[in-house]
């Protein structure tokens, strides 16, 4: 026992000794600024617990432990939410030794005192090995040796967490750019590296923060002058106005409730019928240094997060009533949730080392070089022996020594020990008493075997040429190493002797982990299983210790989980509108009154009107959450692939025009913005000048911005999109307009309603910008017709298709005095509903026996679709899939592209656009052109005179105007020029004649592109839709410049059916703008003139 305690203390002293004598020879990483002073900005958010209110306070997040994980987690969450951090220790400035490398030794030397909180709290495991845990803001990152190296692949590949490795990379970088530096090697470290390479621990990976087999130099959290930059400085990267850090705050326990509801009326995650509800963590109780108790609670949707480390987190779970049932009962701790694995699977990576006295002073150094193998790591430190030693901790070292000597420590650490132990309480009611813990070092025989191999490798190092210069001359004039402490066994082939060396010299490297492991206590999102609103985010969740030193990964973890939680909250915030959503079957059969009734998901319009008035939205489709494919880019094709089903309302309703071209229309809350490719580009000047509307352009601009600030993102171009952009510029489609949401001649990147991880943010999310208390949205509500009479009414059916045997129930809703009904059902639905409601050509309606409300000859006319023609290329390598991101804009046509990888096991794709079979490891790209303002137009007429669910007939008459055909030919020729550009050369295939050519899937461009007849035939035969059809209720024909239906009162149409031409390259941006714009105009019209809340019958000539 004494021998391995001595070995622990000896190695500890040597680390400290080298720090005391450390010559600061470091150069800074490019990402961290050279000469960075301590950044204490976070101190403005720090308070002593005695200063805190004794009244209850509420926060979005409460983090227990301001340590290595807690600080980056708090900083990240504070970007959007209020965060309270409770740290039992003090601030670093109260312990100046933690702020500099030369104080490292002093931190670990401090004896425990009742009147002073030391930054390193000592404890001894049941194995008899002394250890330490951090007790200071910044945690163990403020008392360790600063070594910084990323986690290994084995850590990330362990089951339990589905890591998003791009986000992991960014989280590491977020830490490294602020607090990580590159050391410069002194002689001993350089010789040690040479020795590792000499014995085959290769390759030489030089300086690298990543974990790689071989030998490398890694980073440090000490800068070039020895200042420590620990996790605490990551607090500065947060929003300090949202952050409160309380020190000397000892959390006694977490408390729970089963009465907290955190879900919308659509349901929650508890199964109340079969199981009792899960308890919610709602707050914590903590005490200050004067013994006073404080209570803090989390807000709705808030969480408590344990970041108290591998000792503190399982301890607090047990004290709070989460642990093994029988164990907690035996301690009279009230049980919140029976969880048998709390405190189990706790492990420590055993360390064994030798200590050498070398014959000359050496530049002192902490760990800077590491040799990485599959089973163990080898590291070293060096120091000069002082001429006059002072008493050292634990009384292990000599009180005097010869000056001008050096000392080095060479150690090995097991990578992923199989031995594990457990933790149990030393006190059932006092969190300040460190719990008992046993790590069971070498209880698994494989660990002992790997230790023997690791120690033998140290023996090999001592035999290298690189180590020869560090031998001493003994009394026989022979050169040998001089050991301080135990030497390696003389016969290193003696298995028994080597095993005994491992057992007797074992100590810790302070990398203990587990106790709340993933898959046992927490799930893959680090939520404590069996309870709500409680997570553990620290090393206690690790199944294995990551890499050579866990601090890099623990800091990354705080940032990573914080980003995930922000994403979760964003997703929750994005469906805040759900509290205003009801299925039509839930709606009253009694008459109800609203200021405005919107038919179709006119989301921006509804949000705007709801600011002042009551609004009912009637949507025939379902909510996006009922069709998860609409919520993510990965589901885009699946939406369009879904076959029509009688028992299910698909979000994309298929129809085929009379031209024989297949098409779709949106049937989901949010409309076509929830099924399209997400491209977002503002309308063109030609749209505004031809629209028949006197636009207030300042208001137009603000309406666009209102949309864009919530749901529009800048895409990152993959290789194909970038090459396509280069090709457009090469063939003269210029200038290069960079990223721009405005419509400009030339080539540009535009916005997307898909964010950086592929989540769709459609028009439905704009509902969140309204007053949800004034808004009611009925889904599965099929509006049959608008009724015009002296009673203001609007009949619709619930459309509950789940029970085909029950009759469809009719509901009646009415508008208040000066209220309006607004059609926002799109270029198919809006003219269809006008016709079914009796507004249309007199003779046509009479022929269908539809009662005529208003003879309006233009309803359904002037409907047009922008024709699209494209080529499809097979390219010789996989390419990153991409939706439209780049567009080439000319006066007459636009050019766009998408790309995809060909699947190994292809499935049928929509509209026969893609191959039904393909070879793996190839890519596909589509280059298309779309006419800007086609002159050809057609008409819409009813397929059923009494059933709105039957899509009407529509004919677009593509290329019926000769100018459209001529412009198509010009555009297709431009595609041919693009294919001849240098930028496209790399995407050619090698054919059987060893020539490089494009491989087409489907029709190729005509061989002779100067042949007008051939080019025209290509245009006619390959025409398809780009889903930008418009008209049928056009301004100046059916509606006036304020979008009111001419000839009737209190009825408007606000959607793309009013457009004379399609705006810009994609109409969704302008359609969303239109909803906001008209809503603002209507609010202005109604200001001061509305009799709110009082029902007054209308006495106009024609009523709604």
Q: What is the pLDDT of residues 324-358, one digit of tens each?
A: 999 999 999 999 999 999 999 999 999 999 999 99
Please tell me the least confidently modeled range out of 271-280, 286-295, 437-446, 893-902.
271-280
Q: By three-state DSSP, how is residue 987 classified?
A: helix
Altogether, the residues listed in the chain come to a count of 1104
CB 1034 within 8 A of CB 835: no
Spatial distance between the Cα atoms of 458 and 199, rounded to a whole number of angstroms:
10
What token pair was written down for 147? 């070594």
| Residue 877 pLDDT level (bands cut at 50, 70, 90) | confident
The pLDDT tens digits for 106-121 are 677 677 766 567 899 9
Residues 439-451, mean pLDDT to the nearest whole number: 97
User: CA of 621: how far to CAs of 571, 670, 802, 808, 1069, in Å?
Assistant: 21, 9, 14, 16, 22
Percent pLDDT > 90 in the chain is 71
Residues 475-498, mean pLDDT to the nearest whole number: 91
Spatial distance between the Cα atoms of 726 and 982, rounded to a whole number of angstroms:
9
Q: Which residues contact 586 (CB under 8 A, 6 or more apart)?
A: none
| Residue 47 pLDDT level (bands cut at 50, 70, 90) | very high
Please tell me the least confidently modeled range out of 175-179, 200-204, 535-539, 625-629.
625-629
DSSP state of 100: B
CB 243 within 8 A of CB 236: no
Taking the CB of residue 656, how many other CB atoms lie within 10 A of it? Answer: 12
Q: Which among 570, 696, 1057, 1048 has a CA at the least distance from the CA of 862?
A: 1057
Angle at 43 between CA 37 and CA 46, to 5 degrees: 155
What secondary structure does DSSP assign to 912-936, as a single string? G-S-SS--TT-EEEEEEEEESS---
DSSP state of 524: T
The model carries a pTM of: 0.66
Query: HEC string of 455-518?
Result: HHHHHHHHCCHHHHHHCEECCCCCEECEECCCCCCCCCCCHHHHHHHHHHHCEECCCCECCCCE
CB 717 within 8 A of CB 1096: no
Spatial distance between the Cα atoms of 90 and 724, rounded to a whole number of angstroms:
57
Q: What is the model's pLDDT at position 1093?
A: 33
Average pLDDT, the chain: 87
Going along the chain from its start, the domains and CATH numbers come out as 41-180+219-263+275-345+512-571 (3.50.50.60), 580-680+761-863+1033-1059 (3.50.50.60), 714-752+867-931+959-1022 (3.30.410.40)
Q: What is the model's pLDDT at position 704?
A: 98
The pLDDT tens digits for 174-194 are 999 999 999 889 899 999 999
Q: What is the model's pLDDT at position 526?
A: 98
Q: What is the model's pLDDT at position 903?
A: 57
Residue 404 has pLDDT above 90, yes or no: no
Residue 941 has pLDDT above 70, yes or no: yes
User: CA of 1050: how far to CAs of 355, 611, 790, 974, in Å?
Assistant: 91, 20, 13, 48
Q: What is the model's pLDDT at position 809?
A: 76
The pLDDT tens digits for 574-631 are 788 999 999 999 888 888 999 999 999 799 999 999 999 999 999 999 999 888 888 8
CB 448 within 8 A of CB 502: yes
Q: What is the model's pLDDT at position 113?
A: 66
Q: Which of these is catalytic: 211, 229, 511, 1030? A: 511
**Residue 511 designated active-site:** yes
Residue 1103 has pLDDT above 50, yes or no: no
- To which H or E segment does residue 214 belong? strand 214-217
Helices (H), 659-784: 685-690, 697-711, 719-730
Residues 718-728, mean pLDDT to the nearest whole number: 96
| Residue 441 pLDDT level (bands cut at 50, 70, 90) | very high
What token pair was written down for 386? 């002082």
Strand partners for 377: 372, 413
Residue 139 has pLDDT above 70, yes or no: yes
Residue 33 has pLDDT above 90, yes or no: no
The pLDDT tens digits for 260-290 are 543 323 334 444 445 678 999 999 999 999 9
């Amino acid at each position: 026992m004494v021998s391995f305690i001595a070995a622990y203390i000896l190695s500890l002293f040597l680390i400290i000794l080298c720090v005391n004598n450390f010559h600061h020879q470091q150069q800074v990483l490019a990402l961290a600024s050279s000469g960075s002073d301590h950044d204490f900005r976070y101190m403005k958010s720090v308070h002593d617990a005695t200063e805190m209110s004794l009244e209850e306070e509420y926060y979005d997040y409460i983090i227990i432990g301001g340590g290595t994980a807690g600080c980056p987690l708090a900083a990240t969450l504070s970007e959007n939410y209020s965060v309270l951090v409770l740290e039992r220790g003090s601030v670093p400035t109260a312990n100046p030794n933690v702020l500099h490398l030369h104080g490292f030794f002093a931190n670990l030397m401090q004896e425990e005192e009742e009147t002073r909180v030391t930054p390193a709290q000592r404890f001894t495991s049941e194995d008899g090995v002394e250890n330490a845990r951090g007790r200071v803001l910044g945690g163990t990152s403020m008392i360790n040796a600063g070594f910084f190296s990323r986690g290994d692949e084995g850590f990330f590949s362990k089951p339990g967490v589905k890591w998003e490795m791009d986000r992991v990379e960014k989280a590491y970088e977020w830490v490294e750019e602020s607090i990580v530096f590159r050391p410069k090697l002194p002689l001993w470290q350089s010789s040690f590296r040479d020795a590792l390479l000499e014995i085959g621990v290769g390759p030489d990976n030089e300086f690298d923060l990543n974990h790689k087999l071989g030998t490398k130099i890694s980073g440090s959290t000490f800068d070039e002058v020895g200042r420590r930059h620990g996790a605490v400085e990551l607090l500065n990267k947060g929003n300090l106005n949202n952050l409160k850090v309380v020190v000397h705050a000892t959390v006694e326990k977490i408390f729970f409730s089963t009465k907290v509801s955190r879900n919308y009326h659509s349901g929650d995650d508890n199964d109340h019928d079969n199981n009792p509800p899960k308890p919610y963590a709602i707050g914590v109780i903590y005490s200050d240094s004067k013994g006073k108790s404080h209570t803090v609670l989390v807000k709705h949707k808030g969480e408590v997060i344990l970041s108290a480390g591998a000792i503190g987190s399982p301890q607090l779970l047990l004290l709070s009533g989460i642990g093994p049932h029988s164990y907690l009962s035996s301690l009279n701790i009230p049980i919140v949730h029976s969880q048998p694995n709390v405190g189990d699977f706790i492990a420590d990576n055993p360390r064994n080392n030798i200590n050498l006295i070398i014959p000359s002073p050496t530049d002192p150094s902490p760990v800077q070089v590491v040799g990485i193998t599959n089973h163990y790591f080898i590291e070293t430190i060096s120091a000069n022996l002082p001429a006059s030693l002072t008493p050292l901790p634990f009384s292990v070292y000599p009180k005097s020594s010869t000056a001008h000597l050096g000392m080095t420590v060479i150690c090995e650490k097991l990578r992923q020990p199989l031995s594990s132990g457990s933790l149990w309480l030393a006190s059932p009611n006092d969190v300040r008493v460190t719990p008992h813990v046993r790590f069971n070092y070498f209880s698994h025989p494989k660990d002992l075997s790997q230790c023997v191999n690791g120690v033998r490798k140290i023996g090999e190092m001592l035999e290298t040429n690189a180590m020869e210069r560090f031998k001493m001359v003994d009394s026989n004039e022979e050169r040998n190493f001089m050991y301080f402490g135990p030497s390696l066994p003389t016969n290193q082939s003696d298995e028994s002797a080597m095993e005994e060396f491992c057992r007797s010299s074992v100590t810790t490297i302070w990398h203990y982990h587990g106790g709340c492991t993933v898959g046992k206590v927490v799930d893959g999102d680090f939520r404590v299983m069996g309870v709500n609103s409680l997570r553990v985010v620290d090393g206690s969740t690790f199944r294995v210790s990551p890499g050579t030193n866990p601090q890099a990964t623990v800091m990354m973890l705080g940032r990573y989980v914080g980003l995930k939680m922000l994403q979760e909250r964003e997703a929750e915030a994005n469906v805040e509108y759900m509290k205003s959503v009801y299925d039509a079957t839930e709606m009253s059969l009694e008459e109800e009154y609203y200021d405005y009734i919107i038919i179709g998901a006119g989301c921006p319009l509804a949000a705007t009107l709801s600011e002042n008035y009551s609004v009912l939205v009637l949507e025939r489709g379902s909510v996006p959450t009922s069709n998860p494919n609409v919520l993510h880019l990965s589901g885009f094709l699946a939406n369009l692939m879904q076959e029509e089903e009688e028992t299910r309302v698909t979000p994309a309703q298929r129809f085929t025009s009379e031209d024989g071209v297949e098409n779709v229309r949106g049937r989901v809350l949010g409309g076509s913005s929830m099924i399209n490719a997400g491209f977002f580009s503002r309308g063109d000047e030609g749209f505004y000048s031809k629209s028949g509307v006197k636009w207030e352009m300042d208001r137009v601009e603000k309406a666009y911005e209102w949309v864009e600030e919530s749901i529009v993102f800048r895409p990152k171009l993959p290789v194909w999109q970038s090459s396509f952009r280069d090709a457009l510029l090469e063939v003269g489609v210029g200038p290069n307009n960079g990223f721009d949401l405005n419509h400009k001649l030339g080539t540009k990147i535009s916005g997307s309603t898909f964010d950086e991880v592929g989540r769709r943010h459609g028009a439905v999310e704009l509902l969140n910008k309204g007053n949800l208390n004034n808004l009611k949205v009925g889904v599965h509500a099929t509006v049959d017709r608008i009724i015009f009479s002296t009673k203001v009414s609007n009949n619709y059916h619930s459309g509950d298709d789940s029970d085909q045997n029950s009759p469809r129930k009719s509901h009646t809703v009415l508008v208040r005095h000066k209220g309006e009904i607004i059609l926002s059902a799109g270029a198919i639905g809006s003219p269809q509903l006008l016709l079914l409601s009796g507004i249309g050509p007199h003779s046509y309606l009479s022929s269908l026996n539809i009662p005529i409300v208003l003879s309006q000859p233009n309803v359904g006319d002037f409907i047009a679709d922008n024709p699209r023609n494209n080529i499809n290329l097979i390219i010789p390598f996989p390419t990153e899939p991409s939706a439209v991101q780049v567009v080439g804009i000319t006066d007459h046509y636009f050019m766009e592209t998408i790309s995809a990888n060909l699947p190994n096991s292809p499935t049928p794709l929509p509209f026969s656009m893609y191959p039904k079979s393909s070879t793996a490891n190839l890519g596909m790209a589509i280059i298309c052109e779309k006419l800007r303002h086609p002159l050809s137009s057609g008409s819409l007429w009813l397929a059923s005179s009494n059933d709105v669910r039957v899509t009407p007939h529509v004919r677009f008459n593509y290329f019926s105007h000769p100018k459209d055909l001529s412009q198509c030919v010009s555009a297709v020729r431009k595609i041919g020029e693009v294919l001849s550009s240098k930028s496209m050369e790399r995407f050619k295939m090698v054919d059987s004649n060893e020539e490089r050519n494009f491989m087409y899937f489907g029709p190729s461009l005509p061989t002779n592109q100067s042949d007008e007849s051939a080019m025209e035939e290509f245009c006619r035969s390959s025409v398809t839709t780009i889903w930008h059809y418009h008209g049928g209720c056009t301004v100046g024909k059916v509606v006036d410049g304020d979008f009111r239906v001419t000839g009737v009162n209190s009825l408007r149409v606000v959607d793309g059916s009013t457009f004379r031409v399609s705006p810009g390259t994609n109409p969704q941006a302008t359609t969303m703008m239109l909803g906001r714009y008209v809503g603002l105009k209507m609010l202005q019209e109604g200001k001061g003139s509305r009799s709110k809340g009082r029902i007054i019958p209308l006495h106009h000539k024609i009523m709604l």
